[in-house]
Amino acid sequence: MTLSQIFVSIYAIAAIGVSALAIWRVVTSSAANYKPLWVVGSLFGFVGFATSLNASSDLYLQFGVQIPVISIIWVSGGEGIVLKALFPLVAVVALVKFHSPSSDPS
């Protein structure tokens, strides 16, 4: 594996983790209003990276909207398999907004 493939793979794992944690926090939060909208919004990716898994070691910066946050696409014509991972910005907002209450050690 090339460095760009490793980077995009780690980025994809982080995007899935943030999205899943945000969905869990929204669903279990009693203070969350409009839970279905927060859950659906946490599945959308906006900014991220893409690379070909079997060709060159190019790293592409991606802007746009994608659901789910990662996709694996088979492209005919030389590129082969492309891994795209976009970061769920709504999930980050949900994690900040619905954070677990901090415990007081005293």
* pLDDT tens for each residue of 3-19: 888 999 999 999 999 99
Q: What are phi and psi of 56, to 5 degrees?
A: -75, 175
Q: In the chain, what are the domain boundaries?
A: 3-97
Average pLDDT over residues 94-106: 67
pTM for the model: 0.83
Q: Phi and psi of 84, rounded to 5°?
A: -115, 135
3-state secondary structure 46-73: EEEEEEECCCCCCEEEEEEEECCCEEEE
Distance CA 21, CA 89 (A): 13
Higher pLDDT, 80 or 87: 87
Q: Write down the mean pLDDT value for the chain.
A: 86
- The phi, psi pair for 103, rounded to 5°, reads -90, 140
> For helices 89-97 and 3-28, what crossing angle results, to 10°?
40
Q: What is the pLDDT of residue 94?
A: 92
Query: At 86, is the pLDDT very low, low, confident or very high (cuts 50, 70, 90)?
Result: very high
Return the pLDDT at 106. Answer: 44
Give the helix/strand (H/E) hosting 37. Answer: helix 35-41
Query: Is the pLDDT higher at 100 or at 39?
Result: 39
